[in-house]
Amino acid sequence: MTGRIRIDGQSIPFADGQTVMQAASGAGVFIPHLCYHPDYAANGSCKLCTCKIDGKQVSSCTTRAVDGQVIESNTEELNSERRALSQMLFVEGSHHCPSCEHSGNCVLQSMAYKLGMTALMFPDFTAGRETDASHPDLLINRDRCIYCHLCVRASRDSDGKDIFSITGRSENKSLAINTDSGLLKDSGITVDDAAANVCPVGCIIKKRDGFSKPIGQRIYDNRPVHYNKIKQPSLPDLDREPGRKLRVATCSLAGCFGCHMSFLDIDERIVELTEHVEFDRSPINDIKTCSTQCDIGLIEGGVCNTENIETLREFRDNCRILIAVGACAISGGVPALRNNVDVRELLEESYVNAVGIDNPQIPTDAELPHILEEVSPIHEVVKVDFFLPGCPPPADAFWQILTDIVEGRQPDLPYDLMQFD
């Protein structure tokens, strides 16, 4: 059957046997997706391509186009569901963009940008699955697998090797290699195989290839034309009489101060900014405590020890609007890479086994804060009102949201200021 379907008001043709997804991409209409690939039979598992077809939500990659179908895709409702699905995939695996070799070339990351995902919202699962580095040219980081089955399909259907399987069920699923050893090195896969090139995330990656292209030249650094704008959470009212300067406090928890450095990169605009804001507690002015009721708190870094918790709670108590700034505050970031390592091993690595240590011992001074078993994003400890992603967020992003708040608007993050690394 051939005919036409109507997607978001636009009438497009389809050919016999085509799915809604195929018809849409044929007509240049973008429907967000992760597990769909034009070369392979549809899988229908990621559910990002869910559309409302004749009033009912179904996967567009597995639904046949039928003449006269009315399809909604680019709507606030569907896009916010897709954003939640992206968030779910981020927390299920360990998707820390700043430390991922695939960042900038990652389809999941790019989808999250398109869907306006600034924060994870759900607690991280700290996956801790096995890594396979046995192959000379390829590496599997299972923590990043999103179970899209693309490598399974590519190896079976394009390479004729049938190397990959999915095993386990529920949260215990895992990507398995069809060899007696279970190792990739024995599988006969080569870097040129379709299966080695199809992974949409940083799960199957090429060795000696990571970070080879500078930021700006990677696939998704060129902002795609499709951007489904999504409403960001609205901020609490600042209740401010005209002319009063906003009080801004900032701090860095388990972070590198890179976000603060980026903030200072607004350069001479800081002069204009100080006409509207005054700084409270901040490393910029070296004030150590939040003095009075602040308007905005900018938190860089994740929560790694008891001192971080105290600081964070002080900020929450004293700031009307609390903003998580950068990857570490939002997801734990680089420090969270330690989350699968036992605390003793961490302490020994730092205080006993490290190079250049004179008196190797784990410090026991009662004054020192205890380190937490895991580094947490700040929204798991206090309520956070807004998230400013990036590692670091660009200076323009700081400028944008601060001027928005100063001028009494709900802050908005344009797509070209959205980045996770």
Partner 1 sequence: MVAVADSLVHDQLAKYRRDPAFVLQMLRHLQLEQNIITSGDIHVLSESLNLPRAKINGLIDFYSFLHRRPRGRYDVYFSDSITDHMLGSREQANLLCELLGVELGQPSANGAVTVSLTSCTGLCERGPGVLVNGTAIDRMDDARTREMASLIEANTPLEDWPLEWFVINDALRKKGPLLRYEPTRGKALERAIAIGPEGVLKDLETSGLRGCGGAGFPTWRKWQICRSSNRRQRYVVCNADEGEPGTFKDRALLHGYADTLLEGMTACAITVGASKGFIYLRHEYEFLRERLQHRIQRHRDTNLLGRNILGHHGINFDVEIFMGAGSYVCGEESALIESLEGKRGIPRVRPPFPVTHGYKGKPTVVNNVETFCYAAGILEHGPDFLAHAGDQPGWKLLSICGDCKSPGIYEIPLGTPIRDVLEACGAHGTQAVQVGGPGGTLVSSAEFDRHISYADLNTAGSFIIFDESRDMLDVAVNFTHFFAHESCGFCTPCRVGTKLMVQMADKVADGHGARLDIEQMQRLNKLMTQASHCGLGQRAAVPILTTYEKFTDSFERRMEDVEYKPAFDVEAAIERSRQIVSEEALSR
Which residues make up the interface to partner 1 (CB under 8 A)? 42, 44-48, 50, 57, 59, 62, 81, 84-85, 88-89, 91-92, 121-123, 125, 146-147, 162, 164-174, 176-180, 182, 306, 309, 342-344, 347, 361-364, 370-374, 376, 380-383
Closest CA to 218 of 206, 226, 210: 210
Q: Which is nearer to partner 1, 270 or 346 (CB)?
A: 346
CB of 294 to partner 1, least distance (A): 19
Q: Closer CB to partner 1, residue 317 or residue 416?
A: 317
Rounded to the nearest whole angstrom, what is the least distance from the CB of residue 322 to partner 1 in the complex?
A: 11
> Which CB atom, from 207 or from 370, has the smaller least distance to partner 1?
370
Q: Which is nearer to partner 1, 40 or 263 (CB)?
A: 40
Smallest gap from residue 121 Cβ to partner 1 (A): 8
Cβ partners under 8 Å of residue 196, min gap 6? 138, 189, 190, 204, 206
Quick one: which H or E segment has residue 81? helix 76-92
Q: Is 44 or 200 the residue whose CB approaches partner 1 more closely?
A: 44
d(CA 124, CA 143): 12
- 219 versus 362: smaller Cβ distance to partner 1: 362
CA distances from 26 to 29, 31, 374 (A): 7, 11, 46
Rounded to a whole number of angstroms, the minimum distance from the CB of residue 70 to partner 1 is 17
What is the Cα–Cα distance from 170 to 173, expressed in whole angstroms?
Answer: 6
Query: 316: which 2 tokens?
Result: 């929450």
Nearer to partner 1, 104 or 200 (CB): 200
Q: Is the dihedral of CA 127, 128, 130, 134 positive or negative?
A: positive
> In whole angstroms, how close is the CB of 170 to partner 1 at the nearest point?
5
CB of 313 to partner 1, least distance (A): 10
Q: How many residues does the chain have?
A: 421
Minimum distance, C-beta of residue 39 to partner 1, in the bound complex (Å): 18
Minimum distance, C-beta of residue 115 to partner 1, in the bound complex (Å) = 13
Indicate the residue type of 253. L
Minimum distance between the CB of residue 328 and partner 1, rounded to whole angstroms? Answer: 16
Burial 146-166 (b: 16+ CB within 10 A, else e): bbbbbbbbbbbeebebebbeb
Residue 247 host element (H or E): strand 246-252
- 7 vs 42, beta carbon nearer partner 1: 42
Q: Which residues contact 252 (CB under 8 A, 6 or more apart)?
A: 259, 260, 283, 300, 301
Crossing angle of helices 107-114/76-92, nearest 10°? 140
Report the run of H or E that residue 136 belongs to, with start and end.
none
- The nearer residue to partner 1, 125 or 257, going by C-beta atoms, is 125
Residue carrying the six token digits 């490598």: 151
Nearest to 51 by CA among 28, 33, 39: 33
Parallel, antiparallel or unpaired: strands 303-305 and 371-376? antiparallel
